[in-house]
Amino acid sequence: MYEQIARNKRDSVLLVVVIVAVLLTLGFAIGAAYSRTYLGGVGLLGVFGVVAIVWSLIGYYGGSGIVLAASQAQRVTREQAPVLWNVVEEMSIAAGVPMPAVYVIADAAPNAFATGRDPKHASVAVTAGLLQMMSRDELQGVIAHEMSHVRNFDIRFATLVGVLVGMIALVADFFLRSTFFGGFGGRRGNNDSGGAGAIFFLIAILLAILAPFFAWMVQLAVSRHREYLADASGVELTRNPLGLAHALQKIAADPRPLQVATRATAHLYIANPLKGRKTRESAGLFDTHPPIQKRIQILLDMAHAAPGALTPPSTTPQQAPGA
Amino acid sequence: MIAVIVVIVIVVVLALGLWAAYNGLVRSRNQVDNAWSQIDVQLKRRHDLIPNLVESVKGYMQFEQDTLTRVTNARAAAVAAGAQGPAAQAQAENALTNTLRSLFAVVENYPDLKANQNVISLQEELTTTENKISFARQFYNDSVMSYNTKIQSFPANTIAGMFNFTARQFFEGDAADREVPKVDLGMQAPPVQLQQPAAPAPAPQQPPAPQAQPPVAPQQPPATPQQ
């Protein structure tokens, strides 16, 4: 378990380095394209490096607040949501991490996410719909999944990579627009027919098109992998795979998309909040989450239960945990 | 000259290894202590909640004095066992868990009580405290396991011996949970006894049928005399 966390941390560092390298390469190419010198490339690379550091620091220290505000999550106290609070506290004890801040999103679609920079500065948010729909065991499964994200430092990775991927997309977008709509760089590039400038431009355009996709795909692949991991280590906390399996089944059965979720925050949630309503067997390159049926199947296999065992609890009248 | 450098390097590497191993052991031991204090917090919380619960249900449950007394006594015993180490404490706490379960089973029979807001919130508090105790115990036992494994395996065991790192006790699981399978053991008992009288029986049969598979042979003969 602790080896897994250490490996996660190592992978995260490596991925952040790769994505920063992509960002800096893009900076170099765009700088060189505009200035037509290597020096210009290095200059913009430096600028990008500084901006990336500042941006990452803002994301590192303020990212969770931004995400929670964007999701319209309200912080709750023990008195306001006793059952939710208790379940979160139970799971924090099981995971051996400090009690995170607890948030509720006023939305009927069932979903949940965790954010923060480390277990000491973590927040867990669930929707009102989730609280209404889930039994205590199911809620426990969901919270255990989120607590695993906290304990495995997935929350830090998601925050940092989210910031950097966003920056790459922004920069690439800005460059491509300024080029295609004949910005200052574009004009200068056209005047200088042939030579290094044109080649730099070509490379820069190519990079600006490819880099955001590459970074995004890396982010999503890792994000999908970590969902499986959090399911498994969540079960390690509750020792009850059926709780999470039933919860995911209920989430999958609910057709409502989560209003406050956007493409930027979708990968944080326990299940895709945008609900493409596709039930494919394998994940596509641009999916934020693994197929939910596959996750449920893995959990059921853990419980050595047949898929039929899932039907009785999901058809029983929904218990309200009273939060 | 080279030999001196080699010796110095070896000494430095060994010292670094010792340092890292020692720190690892300390970290591990602190985690065990921390996990234990977490159990302790929850057990105390439960001890504090029980008098409130007994007080709230007393009025409704005139005929269940016996159950209430058992809860109160079990609580007193658990509080007293607090100073006697994990094993004794676990036993007393498990006994308390059982009396609480029977109390809540009785509460089910009293609709007034089930609807009482105070009892409902106390019930939720006790439920979560039970869960917290079991999760804290799970975390404690996991910590003890990794700590004990660490101090018993080479090379950390040499350092553990030097600096007096001793193995910790597990907080044992619920005695009642283990009593449940006892019913199964009782069911399995007859076949065991069937095989025992059968055991001498195959002995004389072995010489005439040495080519028969030994595991099958002893089982078939007892079946026939039984039927």
Map out the domains of chain B as residue ranges.
2-176
Asked if B35 reaches chain A (Cβ–Cβ under 8 Å), the answer is yes
Contact B121 A82 (CB under 8 A): yes
Query: DSSP readout, A241-270?
Result: HHHHHHHHHHHHH--PPPTT--TTTGGGBS
Contacting B residues, span 94-133, partner chain A, CB-CB under 8 Å: 121, 124-125, 127-128, 131-132
Helices A184-191 and A195-238, packing angle to 10 deg: 140
pLDDT greater than 80 at residue A190? no
Nearest to B38 among A86, A91, A93 (CB): A93
% of chain B residues with pLDDT over 90: 4
Cα nearest neighbour of B137 on chain A: A94
Q: Which of A79, A90, A138, A146 is catalytic?
A: A146
Contact B135 A83 (CB under 8 A): no
Which amino acid belongs to residue B220? Q
Contact A86 B124 (CB under 8 A): yes
pLDDT at A278: 52
pLDDT at B181: 31
ipTM confidence? 0.72
**Of A58-67, B11-20, B176-185, B199-208, minimum mean pLDDT range:** B176-185
Optimal mutation site among B114, B131, B171, interface A, most CBs of chain A within 10 A: B131
Q: For chain B, what's the residue count?
A: 227
**Of A288-292, B60-64, B90-94, minimum mean pLDDT range:** B60-64
Shortest distance, CA A152 to any CA of chain B (angstroms) = 16
Contact A96 B35 (CB under 8 A): yes
> How do residues A30-61 score in pLDDT, each as one tens digit?
887 777 777 777 888 888 888 888 888 888 88
Cα nearest neighbour of A321 on chain B: B124
**Of A159-173, A268-282, B211-225, minimum mean pLDDT range:** B211-225
Domains of chain A: 2-61+158-212 (no CATH), 69-155+222-315 (3.30.2010.10)
Contact B135 A86 (CB under 8 A): no
Q: Given pLDDT bands bounded at 50, 70 and 90, which one contains residue B190?
A: very low
Asked if B66 reaches chain A (Cβ–Cβ under 8 Å), the answer is no
Active site (annotated) includes residue A146: yes
Contact A87 B35 (CB under 8 A): no
List of E strands, chain A: 73-75, 101-105, 112-116, 122-127
Q: Given pLDDT bands bounded at 50, 70 and 90, which one contains residue A275?
A: low
> How do residues B9-54 score in pLDDT, each as one tens digit?
999 998 898 888 888 888 888 888 888 888 888 888 888 888 888 8
- Asked whether B35 and B139 are in contact (CB, 8 A), the reply is yes
Q: A269 or A191: which carries more pLDDT confidence?
A: A269
pLDDT at B10: 93
* Fold of the CATH domain B2-176: de novo design (two linked rop proteins) (1.20.1440)
The DSSP letter of residue B203 is H
User: Residues A286-295: what's their mean pLDDT?
Assistant: 85
Q: B215 or B138: which carries more pLDDT confidence?
A: B138
Give me A232's structure tokens: 């498994």
Q: Given pLDDT bands bounded at 50, 70 and 90, which one contains residue B113?
A: confident
Q: What does the buried/exposed string (b/e) look like for B30-46 if buried means 16 or more CB atoms within 10 Å of the residue's CB? A: ebbeebbebbeebbebb
Optimal mutation site among A83, A90, A135, interface B, most CBs of chain B within 10 A: A90
